[in-house]
Chain A
């Protein structure tokens, strides 16, 4: 049973990591804490849901579409909501993102109601047996896609011009501006990337479980916790943090107490911050 639970934890951790990465790069590069990130995750799930159920699109195509759609949403959000506050106090970003969260969640509730929806992917529940461990096909895909995304992200950040610009902006904003890094381009791109990642996570989670307007809040909370104890702005921290949380929740839930499953995130947070206030991989 232990191996099965470890696998359960890795699957869960991968999705947590995906959501957390988006949140952490937006913070790391732009100093913006986007609390509406969970709602973008939810919208990604809905986009995929409608494509799969109404237009009978193949799930992976829907996944791609959801990612792109959320990237666009990210660009719009950056331009309309956050950019006007750029030179004001940073706390404003936080406040306005709460407003965006409320707007998006309630808008979704008004449009789509509270009923949970299932994508109904028939292949998704087929299982693969690896020794004593059973995993559904969709969970395997989720881990595979998470790995692909992380590898792709790493390549992007290390080897492309925009990636370099983003790193420069993250290291020292003023210096970056001095050498001509375009803050508008970087902001737009960072939001597109972060939101696209939220879209991927949302579509994947939605395909494995259910889709409803309230689905974004709990992952946001967990992502936030991961980002803080993983280190604000650290992609590695988000990934490692996600895996740690996923494994702890599952193993703790099974071997200690399932009642406290949701509390593990906060216990880890307190533990890590007590010893390393900047988080595991954080620098600030």
Chain B
């Protein structure tokens, strides 16, 4: 059999098939070993690379183990760099993130802890724990800011974390209560109401939940429901101050000051809860019940508390105006001697202070000392006109 091959170099050369096979066998024999070795080389190289990567992973795990050990059994200050190094190698390792976050929280490095907690939250979206921790952290951070945009922002972030926690773990009562508080503080009454109701289904006698529910009901004007909830709450804990306060306010609003007054007196005497708030409502109830003088005195005490708080703010000097107002409130609280002494000192420094004269005029007028009263009133009018 002949086979004709056409080509540039040998136009009419012919080869027998046997010659072709022989040539082919020679090529195979020459390169067979080389191909085999190359194949083996590639195979073992791949195996080697795989092994090398696994070895690295193993090394990382060893680092993680070491970091975990040092974090669990050593000092956090020593463990922190190791944990951070291990995290560099295993950025999504939840256990490392948790240990680092907890360590940072306990070391009061709250800003750094927030970053690590956020990484943990990102790494375990279905786990409530990091969100719970971050909610507490952010709420604590919010409280560290003075009232301002940053504080509000952190409260909002805390609330969002809390919402996620109760989305993931609907039976987490403690977090639910915190979320309700945050909702109340930010005016989200519908949400607070929903959460309270849902948790009260499981724990119908929980005093704190009942208190929150009563607060929500009162805030949204649902008086009837608030009364029912409070009735239950106070049957469980009769001296629960926040509950008593809401009940007293409800009585006041229902034109029942005589029912409100004993409750509020009790709260003012207890001095727990919100004594200023209790005083304020006591004053309103006393006035409504016709006890005008006592109402005025209690209201003056409330105003003095406001005054002390407000004048402690930055930018308030111990000016004449501030001192006059303090004296005025002292008069109101029945601390007459203090007030008189304060005004007399003030008038030595500023004899033309019309406000101080006005106040003394009122004081002497009330005491029936009309001459003195008239003198101070004249001075007050004259100095005010000259102002």
**Chains A and B come from one and the same complex:** no
